[in-house]
């Protein structure tokens, strides 16, 4: 987990001219990017701010980020950074998690509309109702929630998890019966690797849900040597085709340390951009989809977040405290 080293506009152009928005990464587009990157650097100093970015962000966001990471790494950083302002370039639940971990800090997200279909699929009151029904049958039932949930859901959760530690959290928890919320695909992946009884919430990530196993098989047929790396938010029939099932940062570590030189990256497309930066000598093929929420975060929005102090994450002290307990238990268990 690190911020990529700074590149000049020409280098950025070389890396990203293959993306879907060629005009944005044209030489003149990259000159604009360079100006914004410098302005954001100055504002960060003035505001005593740090920028934390998720691995799915646009490549130019990596240029202004102090650290780029997966959900677990961002949750830990939200607790540990020293600056008084955190700008979270990711989706809303990630910014909420930073606020939960550091309620005394100012936490900004460049666009508060950057949601997540998983977080939207689970309402805290519905979760409490389902948990209480299930406890009539399984008195020891515990709620494990993926971090892709609102602060209100985290506040009624026993232990949170992320894609990199879900199995470890489930196996470490002192209950045999677990209501796993909200991703039914991640729940199915965990259920197939544990002896515990996993009862899944019925949510999914609209991005990963669209990926089909046929697409992977076609690539494997043409390139039998390729390593297929899959995010556990994918459907079970997609996971069945994987050489490795990994979180976003897990995929980066795997690709860097693998003897193979070509990979089919089965997750949101931004991860392929990050992989191109982190392992420039290897080849990455995309079986990916764009997350419209992640792509709402732009350099202009990040500059405006610092200039105008928006959009600020505000959470009540009670919700923050209850939600923090579920994240801290996750950090203890993993």
Q: Give residues in contact with ligand SF4 (CB under 6 A).
A: 91, 116-118, 148, 205-207, 233, 268, 291, 293-294
Euclidean distance between CA atoms 267 and 96, whole angstroms: 23
Which does residue 70 touch among ligand SF4, ligand 13P, none (CB within 5 to 8 A, set by kind)?
Answer: ligand 13P
The helix (run of H) or strand (run of E) holding residue 306 is: helix 299-308
Q: Which is nearer to ligand 13P, 13 or 93 (CB)?
A: 93
Euclidean distance between CA atoms 116 and 93, whole angstroms: 8
Q: Which is nearer to ligand SF4, 49 or 207 (CB)?
A: 207
Angle 92-101/317-333 helices, nearest 10 degrees? 90
The strands making up 67-69's β-sheet, listed across from edge to edge, are 67-69, 49-54, 85-89, 106-108
Which does residue 228 touch among ligand 13P, ligand SF4, none (CB within 5 to 8 A, set by kind)?
Answer: none
Q: Which is nearer to ligand SF4, 155 or 186 (CB)?
A: 186
Q: Which is nearer to ligand 13P, 148 or 157 (CB)?
A: 148
Q: Which is nearer to ligand SF4, 91 or 155 (CB)?
A: 91
Which does residue 60 touch among ligand SF4, ligand 13P, none (CB within 5 to 8 A, set by kind)?
Answer: none
Q: Which is nearer to ligand 13P, 85 or 165 (CB)?
A: 165
Which does residue 117 touch among ligand SF4, ligand 13P, none (CB within 5 to 8 A, set by kind)?
Answer: ligand SF4
Euclidean distance between CA atoms 185 and 232, whole angstroms: 7
Contacts of 225 (CB under 8 A, 6+ apart): 260, 262
CB 95 to ligand SF4: min, Å: 12
Cα 306 vs. chain centroid, distance in angstroms?
Answer: 22
Which does residue 248 touch among ligand 13P, ligand SF4, none (CB within 5 to 8 A, set by kind)?
Answer: ligand 13P
Return contacts of 287-290, CB within 8 angstroms, 24+ apart. 287/211, 287/215, 287/216, 287/219, 288/211, 289/207, 289/208, 289/210, 289/211, 290/207
CB 224 to ligand 13P: min, Å: 27
The CA-to-CA distance between both ends of the chain, in Å, stands at 17
Q: Which is nearer to ligand 13P, 34 or 111 (CB)?
A: 111
CB 321 to ligand SF4: min, Å: 25
CB 54 to ligand SF4: min, Å: 8
Footprint on this chain of ligand 13P (rule: CB under 6 A): 55, 70-71, 148, 162-163, 205, 233, 247-248, 268
Closest C-alpha among 18, 60, 98, 27 to residue 299 = 60
Nearest-Å Rg of the Cα atoms of the chain is 20
Which does residue 297 touch among ligand SF4, ligand 13P, none (CB within 5 to 8 A, set by kind)?
Answer: none
CB 69 to ligand SF4: min, Å: 14
């Amino acid at each position: 987990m690190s911020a990529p080293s700074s590149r000049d506009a020409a280098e950025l152009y070389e890396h990203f001219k293959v993306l879907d928005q060629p005009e944005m990464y044209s030489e003149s587009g990259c000159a604009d990017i360079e100006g914004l990157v410098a302005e954001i650097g100055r504002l960060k100093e003035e505001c005593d701010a740090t920028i934390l970015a998720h691995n799915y962000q646009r490549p130019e966001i990596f240029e202004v980020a102090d650290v780029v990471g997966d959900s677990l790494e961002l949750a830990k950083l939200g607790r540990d950074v020293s600056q008084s302002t955190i700008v979270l370039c990711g989706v809303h639940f990630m910014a909420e998690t930073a606020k939960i971990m550091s309620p005394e800090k100012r936490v900004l997200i460049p666009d508060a509309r950057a949601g997540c279909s998983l977080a939207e699929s689970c309402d805290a009151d519905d979760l409490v109702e389902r948990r209480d029904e299930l406890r009539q049958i399984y008195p020891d039932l515990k709620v494990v929630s993926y971090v892709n949930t609102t602060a209100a859901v985290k506040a009624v959760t026993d232990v949170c998890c992320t894609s990199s530690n879900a199995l470890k959290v489930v196996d470490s928890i002192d209950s045999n019966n677990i209501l796993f919320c909200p991703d039914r695909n991640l729940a199915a992946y965990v259920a197939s690797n544990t002896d515990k009884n996993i009862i899944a919430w019925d949510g999914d990530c609209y991005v990963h849900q669209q990926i089909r196993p046929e697409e992977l098989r076609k690539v494997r047929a043409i390139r039998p040597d390729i390593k297929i790396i899959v995010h556990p938010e994918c459907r079970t029939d997609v996971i069945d085709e994987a050489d490795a099932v990994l979180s976003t940062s897990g995929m980066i570590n795997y690709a860097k340390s693998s003897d193979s030189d070509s990979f089919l990256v089965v997750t949101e497309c931004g991860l392929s951009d990050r992989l191109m930066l982190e392992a420039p000598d290897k080849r990455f093929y995309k079986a990916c989809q764009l997350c419209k929420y992640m792509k709402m975060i732009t350099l202009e929005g990040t500059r405006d977040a610092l200039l105008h102090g928006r959009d600020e994450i505000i959470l009540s002290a009670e919700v923050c405290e209850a939600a923090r307990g579920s994240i801290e238990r996750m950090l203890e268990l993993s």
